A and B are shown apart, each in its own frame.
Chain A
């Protein structure tokens, strides 16, 4: 933050290096066509907020980015790597479990319902994957975990089990857990929707700090204040399609699409 309390100049990334590139992604659940050709590019250091009414496919879309959902057609690349599929004879086939797991190590995800491991302390939650997936020495992982938990304001909760933490605290541990992998991309799936109103702020401020520090983030959110403050770009989804995108100022002050105006007028 700047001395005068403002957030300072918004971090402006070099719009050259693409971290995430989705192209014409389609996805159906049975007969329900949820994604109808979604394309999105996210550059390194960028924070992109995806907004839109429920059922518009935002959550499904970011779940496709780390292959928690399979896609029916199209392609998603993270750091130039095709996610979840590989090319064989010109056709896309699902990749091996091991390769998919390896790809996910560079994509951090924060869930609406935290999904912390309840049988492990905050610290153990954070070092679990660095130690057992990346094979880092435990001391090294622990040192980094302490730093991360300190950064999210939980230095005093290292040995506390999730059951003893508030929702906001749990979500901050979940953010630290995702960051511990040193991901190239962070996905936030309505990270504040399941929180009590008084703890939403603490999670949003952590997310804002991450955005300002140049973390590449895709954030599905209903928090328009956050989108306006922290996003480089806001994307509006409706009925399985991206219908509008732009800088927050442009997006919130002079939206072009009728559906966007309608949505914003209801929510703001």
Chain B
């Protein structure tokens, strides 16, 4: 079996959610077949600048074939086109222009897929929202399997992606919420799909004490791991934690791990450690009383899964359906939507050891049952086996003609998004 993993960026130093997801999947599937990664020469998801050499190289034993990006992203153009397609009545051509402006525009990669798709049994496309997935899935029709990593944002409301969701051979969802959302927007229930998610190589015995000693952290603390950004809900986290600090009953500190795009509030109980390697990150999570996940938009929180794997409870933003659904299904995390709930839930975890322990144990079991690597690998292999026995469908809709692409009749993406069903999926997904 030969599999192509197609992703916008790839590398050991690239820690974006979808990219890490793709790398983990590639490395684990490489144990069961021949895997080749097709990607771009970019490492920066904002500029898509060509920073790596095109050609083939090995990353952790997996061959990686890189292609040049045609042009970098112009933030002004991208912003204007985003406003156009997200907020106004627009045409299909506008959406295609937006896709081109978003990047990474790599016609060379698409050409390669067009010519060599038949060399692979299946092509796994990660992140539906990028150029490579939209055009690549069309080029490898009949072999394309999509890992959408879709979040509840305006992009899901764009019309160009609906045929994509209907035209691929199969879809590997990250969560039941993501599946429900894509079904609602694209009506692709007939496309084979399974909720898989992603595993994580969590160490068996992380040294929490070593972390405390190394970073001179004493006392109980909650940890946030990830990019410190407003889009990740960190601004709200700071506001809420400020409210928590005013409550004398609360004793937790907040430890922040990750690169920051926001100013960190000055307080003796808020520590920012910057970007840490995996060892320190896992030890920090093991030493923490809880992991806080304030993000509004997640297709699957790997950090939350890692915290659960380490037996730590998670406090998630209840406005994110996926996180809320994960907490409910796992019975391993609490969630908040208001300041009062934030303080109440954090104190419940902090002051009730039994509750924190039970949540952590449930989380460990939830991870083991659903996100352990053998489970993940088995789901992929089962899907490959299933597709082998099924006749490929007709594929996606053809691209409309010149006039149709210019007809201004597509609703604003945010209006489409507003009509999608909300809320977490049921307890059993």
- The answer on A and B forming one complex is no
B: which residues have CB within 8 A of A? Answer: none
